[in-house]
């Protein structure tokens, strides 16, 4: 159905311009505001809520008129842990519903209502952070004396070898045993580089003792791998981060452990041992449940109360002890969080993740807890489990598809489903749809990325197209949520043979893409000082064949973002902007180029837009 054009001007989200308090307490009253075009044929606006399972309607009152916008307001008592609501607009041309999924003529389902959480206390610092993900073995070698050596151990009939930094490994070396000597002292030695870039938080891939380079086959949750410098190196890194006002989160694998973990070895040796219930043996000792059939990664069975105690319940459980001094990690990234506690008839995921959340909050109330999830994480993002997830489904994948074409694969499926062209409307709908199903307070905690150790690098994804790479970076640093960069992307690293996205960081500055580094630095600094980008609202403004635009606005700042993927420039012209509530005479500046633009006649005069992104900041009157 084609909706009236004036409905494009209707806007509300959970940000400070529209909701008077982001984190209300139970029993508090918040003021809700709805923005509509001043010229819209609106007769009345009703706020529809659902207290204790019964529909309730509240008549909203006209608020201030701020041309070209008219505001409508109502007070809402927050008397339940989760309050959801939408708006019903009575207009001269019909009755319209408006929820987080947008306007509609039909009655929407409650799951797309706006949502407010009571007594929700997420950490405040992630909103002010720009993260930098580091795969420790490949970032910097600070202490060659701890490099893995062949005589130290055997793994699947192979032995570990440390190769010269950046040298390609031989074809016959087992991939998990290819080492380059990166370690925690190496990271500490490069912190000044990171602060110069502007990042102020680190996400470290696993550092606990394990036989592989990636450490997802953990053999000891209680100690940092000696090849990374051991426990003392993490304590030293913590102190160095403190000196620079930086944070860090650790990566943990509670879904499975490594074959050589003492728990599993004890369970294999004795079926009556307490640890035997930590795993699922179909036939003891060699037939057991694993992560996706990988025999070196036996899956943990959370039906065991003792396992829960060791992982998160006890006072000195793994999830708790690393958050306390002297390590004082600022949070956790939980590996394969979508699979945790799930095993056929045993479906304990919600119970286990909620238990982990309680434990983490008790150990450190301001800890940031995120999960890995490539898929629809809506059920895990309602305020009682993760603070956020690695936002593949809600940001990253739609952007990949828009830039390179659609593709879909699955574990164990040899083929791929592909499509050469993904409509801008599909990306916009994907973004908006995922935002519509979670509370706004949670949306601001989502961990947004362009790539990771598990995916191709963004520069490879866009075929080393510099303009598209910059476009992606601009969207990452202006989208709602917490931005995370992957090491080396800022200097133009691409995937390398055999190592993929896990190549060695390049420290020879002559090999850097300097303009790309500067582009990252400038936008990171914008993000770090911008209230609109840290906590502002989100409104899609323009969706064309090759162009998308959106607004981020806080009480004191407004930023407009235009992204154009087409090889041919978008022609210069006037872009309607009055549906964003922007008044004539408003002035904007290109934050990177310096050009200024003035709104007139409800439109913004834009120049020709080449492939790439344009970020405009409103100039205070």
Alpha-carbon gap, residue 175 to 275, rounded angstroms:
30
What's the token pair of residue 79? 């008397």
3 state DSSP class of 18: coil
3 state DSSP class of 552: strand
Q: What is the DSSP string of 240-279?
A: HHHHTT-EEEEEE--SB--TTSHHHHHHHH-TTSGGGGGS
Classify residue 190 by its DSSP letter. T
What is each CA distance from 422 to 83, 430, 455, in whole angstroms? 36, 12, 20
What is each CA distance from 26 to 29, 69, 83, 117, 590, in whole angstroms? 9, 32, 10, 9, 42
Name 35's bridge partners. Answer: 11, 71
What is each CA distance from 212 to 21, 144, 159, 497, 513, in whole angstroms? 47, 17, 10, 19, 31
Task: Give catalytic residue positions.
Answer: 335, 372
Name 419's bridge partners. Answer: 406
Neighbouring CB atoms inside 10 A of 64's CB total 9
What's the token pair of residue 356? 């982990």
Q: What is the DSSP string of 137-164?
A: GGT--S-GGG---GGG--BTTB--EEPP
Alpha-carbon gap, residue 292 to 339, rounded angstroms:
10
Alpha-carbon gap, residue 362 to 169, rounded angstroms:
45
Is the CB of residue 289 less than 8 Å from the CB of residue 279? yes
Alpha-carbon gap, residue 329 to 251, rounded angstroms:
10
Which parts of 313-457 fold into alpha helices (H)? 318-321, 349-363, 397-404, 424-436, 440-443
Question: Taking phi first (over 0 means left), then psi (-120 to 50 degrees means alpha), and beta for anything else, what does residue 248 get?
Answer: beta
Is the CB of residue 168 less than 8 Å from the CB of residue 498? yes
The three-state (H, E, C) secondary structure of 19-77, written as one string = ECCCCCCCCCEEEEEEEEECCCCEEEEEEEECHHHCCEEEECEEEEEECCEEEEEEEEE
3 state DSSP class of 549: strand
Name 88's bridge partners. Answer: 46, 97
3 state DSSP class of 527: helix
Neighbouring CB atoms inside 10 A of 16's CB total 17
Alpha-carbon gap, residue 182 to 149, rounded angstroms:
14
Q: How far is CA 192 from the centre of its chain?
A: 25
């Amino acid at each position: 159905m084609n909706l009236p054009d004036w409905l494009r001007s209707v806007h509300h989200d959970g940000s400070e311009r529209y909701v008077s308090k982001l984190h209300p307490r139970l029993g508090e009253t918040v003021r809700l505001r709805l923005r509509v075009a001043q010229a819209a044929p609106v007769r009345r606006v009703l706020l529809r809520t659902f207290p204790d399972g019964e529909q309730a309607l509240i008549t909203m009152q006209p608020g201030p008129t701020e041309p070209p916008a008219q505001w409508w307001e109502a007070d809402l008592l927050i008397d339940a842990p989760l309050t959801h609501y939408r708006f019903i607009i009575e207009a001269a041309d019909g009755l319209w519903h408006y929820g987080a999924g947008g306007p509609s003529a039909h009655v929407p389902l409650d799951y797309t209502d706006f949502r407010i959480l009571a007594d929700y206390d997420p950490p405040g610092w992630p909103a002010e952070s720009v993260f930098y993900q580091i795969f420790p073995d490949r970032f910097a070698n600070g202490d060659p004396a701890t490099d893995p050596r062949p005589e130290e151990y055997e793994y699947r009939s192979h032995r570990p070898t440390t190769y010269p930094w950046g040298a390609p490994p031989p074809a016959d070396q087992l991939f998990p045993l290819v080492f380059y000597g990166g370690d925690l002292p190496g990271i500490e030695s490069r912190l000044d580089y990171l602060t110069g870039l502007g990042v102020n938080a680190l996400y470290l891939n696993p550092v606990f003792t394990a036989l592989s380079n990636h450490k997802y086959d953990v053999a000891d949750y209680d100690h940092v791998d000696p090849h990374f410098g051991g426990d003392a190196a993490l304590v030293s890194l913590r102190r160095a981060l403190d000196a620079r006002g930086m944070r860090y989160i650790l990566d943990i694998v509670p879904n499975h452990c490594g074959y050589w973990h003492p728990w599993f070895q004890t369970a294999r040796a004795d079926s009556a041992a307490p640890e035997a219930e930590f795993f699922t043996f179909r036939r003891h000792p060699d037939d057991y449940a694993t992560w996706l059939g990988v025999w070196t990664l036996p899956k943990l069975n959370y039906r065991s109360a003792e396992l829960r105690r060791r992982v998160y319940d006890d006072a000195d459980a793994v999830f708790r002890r690393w958050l306390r001094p002297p390590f004082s990690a600022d949070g956790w990234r939980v590996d394969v969080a979508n699979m945790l506690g799930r095993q056929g008839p045993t479906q304990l995921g919600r119970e286990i993740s909620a238990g982990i959340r309680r434990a983490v909050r008790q150990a450190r109330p301001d800890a940031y807890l995120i999960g890995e999830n490539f898929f629809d994480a809506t059920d895990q993002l309602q305020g009682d489990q993760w603070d956020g997830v690695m936002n593949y489904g809600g940001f990253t994948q739609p952007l990949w598809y828009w830039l390179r074409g659609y593709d879909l694969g699955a574990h164990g499926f040899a083929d791929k489903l592909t499509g050469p062209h993904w409509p801008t409307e599909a990306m916009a709908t994907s973004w908006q749809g995922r935002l519509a199903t979670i509370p706004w307070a949670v949306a601001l905690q989502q961990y947004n990325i362009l790539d990771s150790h598990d995916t191709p690098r963004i520069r490879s994804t866009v075929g080393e197209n510099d303009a598209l790479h910059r476009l992606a970076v601009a969207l990452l640093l202006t989208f709602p949520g917490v931005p995370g960069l992957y090491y080396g992307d800022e200097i133009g690293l691409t995937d390398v043979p055999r190592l993929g996205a896990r190549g060695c960081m390049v420290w020879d500055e002559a090999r850097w893409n300097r303009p790309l580094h500067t582009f990252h630095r400038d936008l990171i600094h914008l993000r770090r000082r911008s209230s609109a980008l840290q906590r502002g609202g989100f409104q899609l403004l323009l969706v064309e064949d090759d162009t998308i635009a959106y607004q981020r606005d806080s009480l004191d700042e407004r930023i407009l973002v235009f992204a154009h993927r087409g090889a041919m420039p978008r022609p210069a012209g006037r872009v309607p902007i009055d549906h964003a509530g922007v008044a004539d005479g408003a002035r904007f500046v290109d934050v990177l180029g310096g050009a200024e633009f003035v709104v007139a006649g409800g439109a913004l005069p834009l120049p020709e837009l080449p492939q790439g992104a344009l970020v405009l900041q409103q100039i205070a009157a």
